Amino acid sequence: MTVLYITQREAVISKAYEAFEITLKQADGSWKKSTIPVQTVNQIVLFGNPRLTGDALMYALELGITVHYLSSFGKYLGSTLPSCSRNGQLRLAQYQCYQDADRCLHLVKTIVAAKITNQYTVLYRRGYRSISLKRYKSELQKQTNLEQVRGIEGTAAREYFACWPTLLGDEWGFRGRYRRPPTDPVNALLSFAYGLLRVQVTAAVHLAGLDPYIGYLHAVTRGQPALVLDLMEEFRPLVADNLVLTVLKNRELKRQDFCDSLGAYQLTEGARKTFLEAFEKKIQDEFQHSVFGYRCTYRRAIELQARLLARHLQEGVPYQPLVLR
């Protein structure tokens, strides 16, 4: 389970027999070559626009490697997927559930409840007890339509982020979640972390053979991979939020690691590497899985959740989101 991240703009990735060769531009303008044991890689994540030759791309697909493209800001742009699972039966089950309002509502409530529990846990572990978040959970069960559930999710999220300035202290100037564009360093970091998480969830959804565009909590509108966003919800607090809070608390990133361009903040090149390393460490963190009982990494847990959702859709096994205490 190795992930290859390429963050250098001037990189050229080509195939050299069974390996990949990466040509990097050095500070003095010369080019340096190095080989990568690509046989042991499962995912390639490209930032900005490094060049991947046709040969290399074809070979990656042959080996079953997924290639993900992100902008240099960390925004998810798309993926090239090996032809693994195209499970027609599963997709039909997914559409059937979408047509069934009651099943839909039940599933969405489970997902939102898990997200709120996980948000509560994030705050609780850092010594902050937000009673109102717990209240939203019981209120959730009384709701009778999707719109109301989405409303509660939004209100809970606002309350949750309202607790963040106390956790972070004044120096970061965090005043709430702003996405387009992220207007302060913390928001920039959150957006980046969510982008990286989305890569993992997208890969898991495709691996399980689900249709990324038919979701339940998120509206099915043009260009929105609703199911990916649905599955992401329970992991947002567990992976991304926890990571951002830890990185800032441990002072792994400082104010000068961010640069401001036209009101939008982003990470500088060196800091991005630091954050990627921290993200990889986090996603390969092992914990005791609450449903299966064995130790697994977050990356594996994401895949398990996608498969659990598939089981739920096809066989009616109750969907249990990942909740940690």
Partner 1 sequence: MTTLFYLIIYDLPDTKAGNKRRNRLHKLLSGYGKWTQYSVFECFLTATQFTKLQVQIEKLIKPQEDSVRIYVLDAGAVRRTLTYGSDKPRPDKVLII
Closest separation in Å from C-beta 42 to partner 1: 10
Among 10, 40, 101, 219, binds partner 1 (CB under 8 A): 40
Give me the 254-293 binding string for partner 1, x by CB under 8 A, dash otherwise: -------------------x--xx--x---x---------
Read off φ and ψ for residue 120, nearest 5 degrees. Answer: -60, -40
Exposure b/e, 13-30, CB count within 10 A at least 16 = b: bbbeeeebbbebeeeeee
Interaction of residue 3 with partner 1, rule CB under 8 A: yes
Least separation in angstroms between CB 81 and partner 1:
20
- The single-letter DSSP state of residue 161 is H
Q: Which is nearer to partner 1, 153 or 303 (CB)?
A: 303
Residue 267, SS3? strand
Question: How far is it, in rounded angstroms, from Cα 15 to Cα 56?
Answer: 5
In angstroms, give the least distance from the CB of 72 to partner 1: 14
Q: Are 313 and 93 in contact (CB under 8 A)?
A: yes
In DSSP notation, 278-308 reads HHHHHHT-EEE-TTT-SEEEHHHHHHHHHHH
Q: Residue 149 half-sphere exposure, CB side, CA atoms within 13 Å?
A: 24
| Of residues 36 and 323, the one with the C-beta less far from partner 1 | 36
- Shortest Å distance, C-beta 193 to partner 1: 16
**CA 315 – CA 248 distance, rounded (Å):** 43
SS3 83: coil
Q: How far is the CB of 301 from partner 1 (least distance, A)?
A: 16
Interface residue with partner 1, options 31, 39, 89, 125 (CB under 8 A): 39
Task: Find the shortest distance in angstroms from Cβ 207 to partner 1.
Answer: 14
* 37 or 78: CB nearest partner 1: 37
Q: For residue 29, what are the contacts with CB-CB under 8 A and spacing of at least 6?
A: none
- Cα distance between residue 39 and residue 167, in whole Å: 43
**The one among 2, 143, 224, 320 contacting partner 1 by CB under 8 A:** 2
Q: Closest separation between CB of residue 140 and partner 1, Å?
A: 37
To the nearest whole angstrom, how small is the minimum distance from the Cβ of residue 40 to partner 1? 6
**Alpha-helical regions (H) of 10-125:** 54-62, 88-99, 101-125
State in Å, rounded, how far the first CA of the chain is from the last one.
Answer: 27
Report CA-CA distances (Å) from 243 to 42, 120, 237, 298.
Answer: 23, 15, 9, 12
* 64 touching partner 1, by CB under 8 A: no
CB of residue 95 to partner 1, shortest distance in Å:
33
Q: Does the footprint of partner 1 cover residue 146 (CB under 8 A)?
A: no
Q: Does 208 bind partner 1 (CB under 8 A)?
A: no
DSSP annotation string for 179-236: -SS--SHHHHHHHHHHHHHHHHHHHHHHHHT--TT--SSS---TT--HHHHHHHTTHI
Instruction: Give residues 15-34 in contact with partner 1 (rule: CB under 8 A).
Output: 16-20, 22, 24
Nearest CB to partner 1, comparing residues 41 and 162: 41
Q: Could you say whether residue 8 binds partner 1 (CB under 8 A)?
A: yes
Question: Which of 43, 118 has the CB closer to partner 1?
Answer: 43
Applying CB under 8 A, which of residues 12, 41, 57, 214 lies at the interface with partner 1? Answer: 41
Name the site residues for partner 1 (rule: CB under 8 A): 1-8, 11, 16-20, 22, 24, 35-41, 273, 276-277, 280, 284
